Structure 1
Amino acid sequence: MLGVLAIIYVVIMVPIEYFTKRPADVIVKKSPESWTDIFLVLPTMCFCYQAHVNAVPVFVSLKNRADCIKATLASTIILILSYCSVAICGYLTFGTKVDHDILMSYQPIPSVVLIAIIMVAIKTYTAYPVNLFCGRTAIDSLSNETAASLITTDPRYSIKRRFLIVCVWFFSTLAAAVFLPNISIAIHYLGALAASFIFIFPGLCLYFHVDQNWVNSWGNIISACIAIFYVAIGVFVTVLTLLQSLIADISAEDTSATKTC
Protein backbone atom coordinates (compact mmCIF):
# COMPACT_ATOMS: atom_id res chain seq x y z
CA MET A 1 0.00 0.00 0.00
CA LEU A 2 2.85 2.36 0.83
CA GLY A 3 4.44 1.67 -2.55
CA VAL A 4 1.19 2.50 -4.34
CA LEU A 5 0.89 5.79 -2.45
CA ALA A 6 4.50 6.66 -3.32
CA ILE A 7 3.90 6.09 -7.03
CA ILE A 8 0.64 8.06 -6.95
CA TYR A 9 2.46 10.94 -5.26
CA VAL A 10 5.15 11.00 -7.97
CA VAL A 11 2.58 10.72 -10.77
CA ILE A 12 0.72 13.73 -9.38
CA MET A 13 3.79 15.76 -8.40
CA VAL A 14 5.63 15.76 -11.76
CA PRO A 15 2.74 17.21 -13.83
CA ILE A 16 1.98 19.77 -11.11
CA GLU A 17 5.62 20.89 -11.08
CA TYR A 18 5.52 21.29 -14.85
CA PHE A 19 2.26 23.24 -15.08
CA THR A 20 3.13 25.53 -12.16
CA LYS A 21 6.62 26.48 -13.38
CA ARG A 22 6.36 26.03 -17.18
CA PRO A 23 10.07 26.41 -18.06
CA ALA A 24 10.69 28.29 -21.32
CA ASP A 25 14.34 27.65 -22.27
CA VAL A 26 14.06 23.89 -22.66
CA ILE A 27 15.63 22.00 -25.56
CA VAL A 28 13.33 19.19 -26.67
CA LYS A 29 14.62 16.55 -29.05
CA LYS A 30 11.82 15.47 -31.38
CA SER A 31 13.57 12.60 -33.14
CA PRO A 32 16.38 10.15 -32.32
CA GLU A 33 19.84 10.61 -33.75
CA SER A 34 19.64 7.16 -35.33
CA TRP A 35 16.72 4.87 -36.02
CA THR A 36 18.49 2.12 -34.08
CA ASP A 37 18.16 4.23 -30.93
CA ILE A 38 14.54 3.13 -30.86
CA PHE A 39 15.69 -0.25 -29.61
CA LEU A 40 17.28 1.41 -26.59
CA VAL A 41 13.77 2.12 -25.32
CA LEU A 42 12.74 -1.54 -25.42
CA PRO A 43 14.55 -2.60 -22.21
CA THR A 44 12.85 0.16 -20.24
CA MET A 45 9.45 -0.73 -21.67
CA CYS A 46 9.95 -4.42 -20.94
CA PHE A 47 11.09 -3.61 -17.42
CA CYS A 48 8.14 -1.29 -16.77
CA TYR A 49 5.43 -3.64 -17.98
CA GLN A 50 6.85 -6.84 -16.55
CA ALA A 51 4.46 -8.10 -13.89
CA HIS A 52 4.93 -11.86 -14.09
CA VAL A 53 6.01 -12.13 -10.47
CA ASN A 54 2.87 -10.38 -9.22
CA ALA A 55 0.47 -12.02 -11.66
CA VAL A 56 0.18 -15.35 -9.85
CA PRO A 57 -0.56 -14.01 -6.32
CA VAL A 58 -3.02 -11.49 -7.77
CA PHE A 59 -4.77 -14.26 -9.69
CA VAL A 60 -4.99 -16.41 -6.56
CA SER A 61 -6.34 -13.55 -4.44
CA LEU A 62 -9.17 -12.73 -6.85
CA LYS A 63 -12.59 -13.73 -5.58
CA ASN A 64 -13.78 -14.32 -9.12
CA ARG A 65 -10.81 -15.52 -11.14
CA ALA A 66 -12.68 -14.91 -14.35
CA ASP A 67 -12.04 -11.20 -13.71
CA CYS A 68 -8.29 -11.69 -14.13
CA ILE A 69 -8.36 -10.37 -17.70
CA LYS A 70 -10.33 -7.30 -16.61
CA ALA A 71 -7.90 -6.64 -13.78
CA THR A 72 -4.95 -7.04 -16.15
CA LEU A 73 -6.40 -4.64 -18.72
CA ALA A 74 -7.35 -2.08 -16.07
CA SER A 75 -3.91 -2.17 -14.45
CA THR A 76 -2.19 -1.92 -17.84
CA ILE A 77 -4.26 1.14 -18.78
CA ILE A 78 -3.45 2.78 -15.44
CA LEU A 79 0.25 2.06 -15.97
CA ILE A 80 0.22 3.52 -19.48
CA LEU A 81 -1.49 6.72 -18.32
CA SER A 82 0.83 7.06 -15.33
CA TYR A 83 4.02 6.45 -17.29
CA CYS A 84 2.97 8.77 -20.11
CA SER A 85 2.00 11.63 -17.80
CA VAL A 86 5.27 11.47 -15.87
CA ALA A 87 7.42 10.96 -18.97
CA ILE A 88 5.82 13.74 -21.02
CA CYS A 89 5.67 16.33 -18.25
CA GLY A 90 9.13 15.41 -16.99
CA TYR A 91 10.71 15.68 -20.42
CA LEU A 92 8.95 18.96 -21.17
CA THR A 93 10.23 20.29 -17.85
CA PHE A 94 13.92 19.48 -18.39
CA GLY A 95 14.24 18.57 -22.06
CA THR A 96 17.51 16.95 -23.10
CA LYS A 97 19.00 17.77 -19.69
CA VAL A 98 16.67 15.37 -17.90
CA ASP A 99 18.45 12.98 -15.58
CA HIS A 100 18.07 9.22 -15.78
CA ASP A 101 16.32 9.48 -12.42
CA ILE A 102 13.82 12.25 -13.06
CA LEU A 103 13.61 13.19 -9.38
CA MET A 104 17.32 14.02 -9.44
CA SER A 105 16.71 16.58 -12.20
CA TYR A 106 15.10 18.99 -9.75
CA GLN A 107 18.05 21.08 -8.59
CA PRO A 108 18.05 22.42 -5.96
CA ILE A 109 15.72 19.75 -4.64
CA PRO A 110 12.51 21.31 -3.28
CA SER A 111 10.68 19.86 -0.32
CA VAL A 112 7.94 18.25 -2.41
CA VAL A 113 10.53 16.41 -4.50
CA LEU A 114 12.48 15.40 -1.41
CA ILE A 115 9.31 13.85 -0.01
CA ALA A 116 8.90 11.93 -3.28
CA ILE A 117 12.49 10.66 -3.08
CA ILE A 118 11.98 9.49 0.49
CA MET A 119 8.69 7.78 -0.38
CA VAL A 120 10.21 5.99 -3.37
CA ALA A 121 13.13 4.89 -1.20
CA ILE A 122 10.75 3.51 1.43
CA LYS A 123 8.72 1.82 -1.30
CA THR A 124 11.86 0.16 -2.66
CA TYR A 125 12.89 -0.88 0.83
CA THR A 126 9.52 -2.49 1.57
CA ALA A 127 9.27 -4.19 -1.84
CA TYR A 128 12.81 -5.60 -1.69
CA PRO A 129 11.96 -8.61 0.53
CA VAL A 130 9.18 -9.70 -1.84
CA ASN A 131 11.47 -9.72 -4.87
CA LEU A 132 14.24 -11.30 -2.82
CA PHE A 133 11.91 -14.10 -1.75
CA CYS A 134 10.98 -14.83 -5.37
CA GLY A 135 14.62 -14.85 -6.43
CA ARG A 136 15.73 -16.98 -3.50
CA THR A 137 12.94 -19.47 -4.13
CA ALA A 138 13.90 -19.77 -7.80
CA ILE A 139 17.60 -20.28 -7.04
CA ASP A 140 16.77 -22.65 -4.20
CA SER A 141 14.56 -24.75 -6.46
CA LEU A 142 17.36 -24.97 -9.02
CA SER A 143 19.85 -26.04 -6.38
CA ASN A 144 17.44 -28.75 -5.24
CA GLU A 145 17.90 -30.39 -8.63
CA THR A 146 21.66 -30.70 -8.24
CA ALA A 147 23.41 -33.79 -6.99
CA ALA A 148 24.77 -31.94 -3.98
CA SER A 149 21.30 -31.32 -2.60
CA LEU A 150 20.41 -34.98 -3.00
CA ILE A 151 23.31 -36.10 -0.84
CA THR A 152 21.82 -34.81 2.37
CA THR A 153 18.36 -34.00 3.64
CA ASP A 154 19.63 -32.21 6.74
CA PRO A 155 17.45 -29.12 7.37
CA ARG A 156 20.54 -27.26 8.56
CA TYR A 157 22.02 -27.58 5.08
CA SER A 158 18.90 -26.01 3.60
CA ILE A 159 19.08 -23.11 6.07
CA LYS A 160 22.76 -22.51 5.28
CA ARG A 161 22.05 -22.60 1.56
CA ARG A 162 19.24 -20.07 1.88
CA PHE A 163 21.39 -17.87 4.07
CA LEU A 164 24.17 -17.97 1.47
CA ILE A 165 21.76 -17.11 -1.35
CA VAL A 166 20.32 -14.17 0.59
CA CYS A 167 23.77 -12.83 1.47
CA VAL A 168 25.06 -13.06 -2.10
CA TRP A 169 21.86 -11.47 -3.42
CA PHE A 170 21.90 -8.65 -0.87
CA PHE A 171 25.57 -7.72 -1.18
CA SER A 172 25.51 -7.92 -4.98
CA THR A 173 22.55 -5.53 -5.17
CA LEU A 174 24.20 -3.31 -2.56
CA ALA A 175 27.38 -3.17 -4.63
CA ALA A 176 25.37 -2.33 -7.74
CA ALA A 177 23.54 0.45 -5.89
CA VAL A 178 26.81 1.93 -4.62
CA PHE A 179 28.99 1.70 -7.72
CA LEU A 180 26.56 2.11 -10.63
CA PRO A 181 26.42 5.81 -11.61
CA ASN A 182 22.67 5.83 -12.33
CA ILE A 183 19.65 3.59 -12.32
CA SER A 184 19.33 3.50 -16.12
CA ILE A 185 22.25 1.08 -16.39
CA ALA A 186 20.48 -1.46 -14.20
CA ILE A 187 17.18 -0.93 -16.00
CA HIS A 188 18.80 -1.46 -19.40
CA TYR A 189 20.21 -4.85 -18.48
CA LEU A 190 17.26 -5.96 -16.36
CA GLY A 191 14.92 -4.79 -19.10
CA ALA A 192 16.79 -6.86 -21.65
CA LEU A 193 16.35 -9.90 -19.43
CA ALA A 194 12.71 -8.94 -18.93
CA ALA A 195 12.26 -9.38 -22.67
CA SER A 196 12.93 -13.06 -22.07
CA PHE A 197 9.99 -13.23 -19.67
CA ILE A 198 7.75 -11.31 -22.05
CA PHE A 199 8.60 -13.05 -25.32
CA ILE A 200 10.83 -16.12 -24.99
CA PHE A 201 9.29 -17.98 -22.06
CA PRO A 202 5.64 -17.48 -23.12
CA GLY A 203 6.61 -18.61 -26.61
CA LEU A 204 8.27 -21.72 -25.24
CA CYS A 205 5.28 -22.47 -23.01
CA LEU A 206 2.91 -22.14 -25.96
CA TYR A 207 5.11 -24.32 -28.15
CA PHE A 208 5.41 -27.12 -25.59
CA HIS A 209 1.68 -26.94 -24.89
CA VAL A 210 0.88 -27.32 -28.58
CA ASP A 211 3.49 -30.06 -28.96
CA GLN A 212 2.05 -32.11 -26.09
CA ASN A 213 -1.46 -31.88 -27.51
CA TRP A 214 -0.53 -31.97 -31.17
CA VAL A 215 -3.30 -32.61 -33.66
CA ASN A 216 -2.94 -31.87 -37.34
CA SER A 217 -5.03 -28.73 -37.61
CA TRP A 218 -4.62 -25.17 -38.76
CA GLY A 219 -5.10 -23.94 -35.20
CA ASN A 220 -2.10 -25.88 -33.90
CA ILE A 221 0.02 -24.89 -36.88
CA ILE A 222 -0.78 -21.21 -36.36
CA SER A 223 -0.12 -21.52 -32.62
CA ALA A 224 3.24 -23.18 -33.27
CA CYS A 225 4.18 -20.42 -35.73
CA ILE A 226 3.20 -17.76 -33.20
CA ALA A 227 5.29 -19.50 -30.53
CA ILE A 228 8.34 -19.66 -32.81
CA PHE A 229 7.81 -16.01 -33.76
CA TYR A 230 7.65 -14.99 -30.09
CA VAL A 231 10.86 -16.85 -29.29
CA ALA A 232 12.65 -15.35 -32.29
CA ILE A 233 11.53 -11.83 -31.40
CA GLY A 234 12.54 -12.38 -27.79
CA VAL A 235 16.03 -13.57 -28.69
CA PHE A 236 16.46 -10.68 -31.13
CA VAL A 237 15.31 -8.03 -28.65
CA THR A 238 17.30 -9.49 -25.75
CA VAL A 239 20.59 -9.80 -27.62
CA LEU A 240 20.23 -6.48 -29.44
CA THR A 241 19.33 -4.45 -26.36
CA LEU A 242 22.09 -6.05 -24.31
CA LEU A 243 24.68 -5.20 -26.95
CA GLN A 244 23.35 -1.67 -27.44
CA SER A 245 23.26 -1.02 -23.71
CA LEU A 246 26.79 -2.33 -23.33
CA ILE A 247 28.08 -0.16 -26.18
CA ALA A 248 26.22 2.91 -24.90
CA ASP A 249 27.58 2.46 -21.37
CA ILE A 250 31.15 1.96 -22.55
CA SER A 251 31.08 4.97 -24.87
CA ALA A 252 29.23 7.25 -22.44
CA GLU A 253 31.19 10.38 -21.70
CA ASP A 254 29.32 11.53 -18.62
CA THR A 255 28.76 8.78 -16.08
CA SER A 256 28.88 10.92 -12.98
CA ALA A 257 26.15 10.29 -10.45
CA THR A 258 23.93 13.06 -9.18
CA LYS A 259 24.14 13.36 -5.42
CA THR A 260 20.93 13.53 -3.45
CA CYS A 261 22.50 15.36 -0.52
Structure 2
Amino acid sequence: MALVLYLFLSAVGSTVVFANFNTDFDITFGADHTKILDNGRQLQLSLDKTSGSGFQSKSEILFGQINMKIKLVPGYSAGTVTTFYLSSQGSNHDELDFEFLGRLPGDPYAMQTNVFVQGQGNREVRFNLWFDPTENFHTYSLLWNSHQILFSVDGTPMRVFKNMENIGVPYPRDQAMRVIGSLWDGSDWATDGGRAKVDYSKAPFVALFSSYSAEACINGEPCNTNAAWSRERISVEQWKQLKIVRKKYMTYDYCLDKERFPHGLPAECTRHS
Protein backbone atom coordinates (compact mmCIF):
# COMPACT_ATOMS: atom_id res chain seq x y z
CA MET A 1 0.00 0.00 0.00
CA ALA A 2 1.45 3.37 -1.01
CA LEU A 3 2.49 5.52 1.90
CA VAL A 4 1.06 8.72 0.49
CA LEU A 5 -1.01 11.18 2.48
CA TYR A 6 -3.13 13.79 0.73
CA LEU A 7 -4.61 16.16 3.29
CA PHE A 8 -6.99 18.69 1.77
CA LEU A 9 -7.18 21.87 3.78
CA SER A 10 -10.44 23.53 2.81
CA ALA A 11 -9.69 26.57 4.91
CA VAL A 12 -6.57 27.45 2.94
CA GLY A 13 -7.23 25.69 -0.35
CA SER A 14 -3.85 23.97 -0.58
CA THR A 15 -2.72 20.36 -0.52
CA VAL A 16 -0.16 18.89 1.86
CA VAL A 17 1.64 16.01 0.16
CA PHE A 18 4.06 13.51 1.67
CA ALA A 19 5.14 11.73 -1.48
CA ASN A 20 6.25 8.18 -2.16
CA PHE A 21 8.99 7.54 -4.73
CA ASN A 22 7.23 4.35 -5.86
CA THR A 23 4.02 6.08 -6.89
CA ASP A 24 4.49 9.82 -7.19
CA PHE A 25 7.69 10.17 -9.22
CA ASP A 26 8.94 8.92 -12.58
CA ILE A 27 12.55 7.98 -13.35
CA THR A 28 13.60 10.20 -16.26
CA PHE A 29 16.97 8.64 -17.09
CA GLY A 30 19.37 6.02 -15.76
CA ALA A 31 16.68 3.67 -14.42
CA ASP A 32 19.31 0.99 -13.78
CA HIS A 33 21.22 3.56 -11.71
CA THR A 34 18.37 4.18 -9.25
CA LYS A 35 17.09 2.33 -6.18
CA ILE A 36 13.90 2.97 -4.23
CA LEU A 37 14.45 2.31 -0.53
CA ASP A 38 12.60 2.32 2.79
CA ASN A 39 9.19 1.41 1.31
CA GLY A 40 9.33 4.31 -1.11
CA ARG A 41 10.43 7.00 1.31
CA GLN A 42 13.95 7.24 -0.16
CA LEU A 43 15.44 7.27 -3.65
CA GLN A 44 19.10 6.55 -4.40
CA LEU A 45 20.68 8.02 -7.53
CA SER A 46 24.06 6.90 -8.81
CA LEU A 47 26.56 7.96 -11.45
CA ASP A 48 29.26 5.91 -13.16
CA LYS A 49 31.00 6.04 -16.53
CA THR A 50 27.93 4.58 -18.26
CA SER A 51 25.22 6.90 -16.96
CA GLY A 52 23.88 9.28 -14.36
CA SER A 53 20.27 9.22 -13.17
CA GLY A 54 17.28 11.44 -12.50
CA PHE A 55 13.60 11.67 -11.56
CA GLN A 56 10.65 14.03 -11.69
CA SER A 57 7.29 14.33 -9.97
CA LYS A 58 4.14 13.18 -11.72
CA SER A 59 2.28 16.20 -10.36
CA GLU A 60 2.86 19.87 -11.11
CA ILE A 61 2.67 22.78 -8.69
CA LEU A 62 1.97 26.46 -9.16
CA PHE A 63 3.17 28.21 -6.00
CA GLY A 64 3.93 26.37 -2.78
CA GLN A 65 6.41 25.31 -0.14
CA ILE A 66 8.44 22.22 -1.06
CA ASN A 67 11.01 20.34 1.00
CA MET A 68 13.45 17.53 0.24
CA LYS A 69 16.00 15.85 2.48
CA ILE A 70 19.23 15.03 0.61
CA LYS A 71 22.47 13.29 1.50
CA LEU A 72 25.10 14.27 -1.05
CA VAL A 73 27.86 12.25 -2.73
CA PRO A 74 30.57 11.46 -0.16
CA GLY A 75 34.34 11.27 -0.58
CA TYR A 76 35.88 12.42 -3.84
CA SER A 77 32.94 13.96 -5.70
CA ALA A 78 34.70 16.50 -7.95
CA GLY A 79 32.92 17.06 -11.24
CA THR A 80 29.62 15.59 -10.07
CA VAL A 81 26.45 17.69 -9.95
CA THR A 82 23.50 16.74 -7.74
CA THR A 83 20.34 18.78 -8.36
CA PHE A 84 16.98 19.45 -6.77
CA TYR A 85 14.77 21.95 -8.55
CA LEU A 86 11.43 23.01 -9.95
CA SER A 87 10.98 23.39 -13.70
CA SER A 88 8.27 23.86 -16.29
CA GLN A 89 8.61 22.65 -19.88
CA GLY A 90 9.69 24.26 -23.15
CA SER A 91 12.23 26.81 -24.33
CA ASN A 92 10.54 29.60 -22.36
CA HIS A 93 10.47 27.56 -19.18
CA ASP A 94 10.66 28.77 -15.59
CA GLU A 95 13.07 27.04 -13.21
CA LEU A 96 14.22 27.34 -9.58
CA ASP A 97 17.48 25.50 -8.91
CA PHE A 98 19.50 23.96 -6.15
CA GLU A 99 22.74 22.58 -7.66
CA PHE A 100 25.32 20.88 -5.44
CA LEU A 101 28.78 20.94 -6.97
CA GLY A 102 31.09 18.05 -6.11
CA ARG A 103 34.30 18.69 -4.21
CA LEU A 104 37.87 17.59 -3.80
CA PRO A 105 38.57 15.95 -0.42
CA GLY A 106 38.99 18.54 2.30
CA ASP A 107 37.15 21.30 0.41
CA PRO A 108 33.68 22.57 1.34
CA TYR A 109 30.66 21.53 -0.68
CA ALA A 110 29.38 24.31 -2.95
CA MET A 111 25.66 24.96 -3.37
CA GLN A 112 24.58 27.03 -6.37
CA THR A 113 21.11 28.53 -6.75
CA ASN A 114 19.62 29.90 -9.94
CA VAL A 115 16.34 31.40 -11.17
CA PHE A 116 15.10 31.07 -14.75
CA VAL A 117 12.14 33.11 -15.95
CA GLN A 118 10.74 32.61 -19.45
CA GLY A 119 13.87 30.72 -20.49
CA GLN A 120 16.33 33.30 -19.16
CA GLY A 121 18.67 32.32 -16.32
CA ASN A 122 22.14 33.67 -15.53
CA ARG A 123 21.08 34.50 -11.99
CA GLU A 124 23.55 32.31 -10.09
CA VAL A 125 24.28 32.80 -6.39
CA ARG A 126 26.71 30.32 -4.83
CA PHE A 127 27.54 29.38 -1.24
CA ASN A 128 29.90 27.07 0.61
CA LEU A 129 27.90 24.90 2.99
CA TRP A 130 29.05 25.21 6.61
CA PHE A 131 28.44 21.53 7.38
CA ASP A 132 29.31 18.23 5.72
CA PRO A 133 26.20 17.43 3.63
CA THR A 134 27.40 13.87 2.99
CA GLU A 135 27.25 12.66 6.60
CA ASN A 136 23.54 13.20 7.28
CA PHE A 137 20.36 14.25 5.54
CA HIS A 138 19.68 17.99 5.40
CA THR A 139 16.48 19.73 4.31
CA TYR A 140 16.53 21.94 1.22
CA SER A 141 13.41 24.06 0.75
CA LEU A 142 11.83 26.35 -1.80
CA LEU A 143 9.05 28.76 -0.91
CA TRP A 144 7.47 30.15 -4.09
CA ASN A 145 4.55 32.54 -3.97
CA SER A 146 3.44 35.72 -5.72
CA HIS A 147 5.72 37.85 -3.53
CA GLN A 148 9.04 36.03 -3.50
CA ILE A 149 11.11 32.90 -3.98
CA LEU A 150 12.99 31.87 -0.85
CA PHE A 151 15.76 29.24 -0.85
CA SER A 152 16.44 27.71 2.59
CA VAL A 153 18.69 25.05 4.10
CA ASP A 154 17.55 23.41 7.35
CA GLY A 155 15.29 26.41 7.85
CA THR A 156 18.08 28.96 7.36
CA PRO A 157 17.22 31.44 4.57
CA MET A 158 19.94 31.47 1.94
CA ARG A 159 18.56 33.57 -0.90
CA VAL A 160 15.47 35.57 -1.79
CA PHE A 161 14.33 36.56 -5.28
CA LYS A 162 11.60 39.17 -4.98
CA ASN A 163 8.74 39.83 -7.32
CA MET A 164 9.81 43.08 -8.99
CA GLU A 165 7.37 43.14 -11.88
CA ASN A 166 6.65 46.74 -10.91
CA ILE A 167 10.06 47.69 -12.32
CA GLY A 168 9.81 45.39 -15.33
CA VAL A 169 11.59 42.29 -13.99
CA PRO A 170 9.86 39.08 -15.20
CA TYR A 171 8.65 36.78 -12.42
CA PRO A 172 7.58 33.11 -12.59
CA ARG A 173 3.86 33.10 -11.94
CA ASP A 174 2.03 31.41 -14.84
CA GLN A 175 3.80 28.10 -15.53
CA ALA A 176 3.26 25.06 -13.32
CA MET A 177 6.46 23.19 -12.49
CA ARG A 178 7.48 19.65 -11.68
CA VAL A 179 9.88 18.66 -8.90
CA ILE A 180 13.08 17.26 -10.42
CA GLY A 181 16.28 15.69 -9.10
CA SER A 182 19.36 14.32 -10.83
CA LEU A 183 22.99 13.24 -10.52
CA TRP A 184 25.25 13.75 -13.53
CA ASP A 185 28.74 14.53 -14.83
CA GLY A 186 29.47 18.26 -14.85
CA SER A 187 33.25 17.92 -15.26
CA ASP A 188 33.47 20.80 -17.69
CA TRP A 189 32.41 23.41 -15.10
CA ALA A 190 31.29 22.15 -11.70
CA THR A 191 34.47 21.97 -9.62
CA ASP A 192 37.23 24.57 -9.68
CA GLY A 193 35.94 25.94 -12.98
CA GLY A 194 36.17 22.53 -14.64
CA ARG A 195 39.79 21.85 -13.67
CA ALA A 196 38.81 18.99 -11.32
CA LYS A 197 37.03 16.24 -13.25
CA VAL A 198 34.97 13.21 -12.32
CA ASP A 199 37.31 10.32 -11.48
CA TYR A 200 35.41 7.20 -12.52
CA SER A 201 37.89 4.94 -10.75
CA LYS A 202 36.02 6.08 -7.61
CA ALA A 203 32.56 5.33 -9.03
CA PRO A 204 29.77 4.70 -8.33
CA PHE A 205 28.92 8.13 -6.95
CA VAL A 206 25.74 8.01 -4.88
CA ALA A 207 23.26 10.61 -3.57
CA LEU A 208 20.14 9.93 -1.49
CA PHE A 209 16.82 11.82 -1.60
CA SER A 210 14.25 11.40 1.17
CA SER A 211 11.09 12.72 2.84
CA TYR A 212 9.74 14.92 0.07
CA SER A 213 6.83 17.07 1.19
CA ALA A 214 4.90 19.98 -0.28
CA GLU A 215 2.13 22.35 0.68
CA ALA A 216 1.16 23.69 -2.69
CA CYS A 217 -1.37 24.30 -5.45
CA ILE A 218 -1.16 20.96 -7.27
CA ASN A 219 -2.25 19.97 -10.78
CA GLY A 220 -4.27 23.10 -11.40
CA GLU A 221 -6.54 22.68 -8.40
CA PRO A 222 -8.09 25.91 -7.05
CA CYS A 223 -5.81 27.37 -4.43
CA ASN A 224 -6.86 29.96 -1.88
CA THR A 225 -4.36 32.78 -1.60
CA ASN A 226 -5.00 32.97 2.15
CA ALA A 227 -2.71 29.98 2.72
CA ALA A 228 0.09 30.91 5.12
CA TRP A 229 2.84 30.10 2.63
CA SER A 230 1.02 32.14 -0.03
CA ARG A 231 0.93 35.27 2.13
CA GLU A 232 4.43 34.94 3.51
CA ARG A 233 6.98 37.66 2.87
CA ILE A 234 10.52 37.65 4.17
CA SER A 235 10.64 38.90 7.74
CA VAL A 236 13.03 41.28 9.45
CA GLU A 237 14.59 38.33 11.29
CA GLN A 238 15.05 36.41 8.04
CA TRP A 239 16.75 39.44 6.48
CA LYS A 240 19.19 39.47 9.39
CA GLN A 241 19.92 35.78 8.85
CA LEU A 242 20.37 36.34 5.12
CA LYS A 243 22.94 39.05 5.71
CA ILE A 244 24.92 36.75 8.01
CA VAL A 245 24.80 33.90 5.49
CA ARG A 246 25.87 36.16 2.61
CA LYS A 247 28.77 37.57 4.59
CA LYS A 248 30.08 34.24 5.89
CA TYR A 249 29.29 31.70 3.17
CA MET A 250 28.46 33.33 -0.16
CA THR A 251 31.21 32.93 -2.76
CA TYR A 252 29.51 34.35 -5.86
CA ASP A 253 26.58 36.64 -6.67
CA TYR A 254 25.72 37.60 -10.24
CA CYS A 255 24.48 40.96 -8.95
CA LEU A 256 28.03 41.82 -7.87
CA ASP A 257 29.71 40.68 -11.10
CA LYS A 258 30.17 43.88 -13.08
CA GLU A 259 32.71 42.24 -15.40
CA ARG A 260 30.07 39.77 -16.51
CA PHE A 261 27.57 42.55 -17.20
CA PRO A 262 29.72 45.38 -18.62
CA HIS A 263 26.67 47.23 -19.95
CA GLY A 264 24.92 47.29 -16.61
CA LEU A 265 23.71 44.83 -14.00
CA PRO A 266 20.29 43.19 -14.44
CA ALA A 267 17.39 45.36 -13.33
CA GLU A 268 16.61 43.28 -10.23
CA CYS A 269 20.10 44.01 -8.89
CA THR A 270 19.12 47.64 -8.27
CA ARG A 271 17.02 46.39 -5.35
CA HIS A 272 19.34 43.68 -4.18
CA SER A 273 19.52 42.39 -0.62
TM-score when normalising by structure 2: 0.24
- Larger strand percent: 2
Report which of the two structures shows the higher radius of gyration computed on alpha carbons: 1
Scaled by the length of structure 1, the TM-score of the pair is: 0.25
Higher helix share: 1
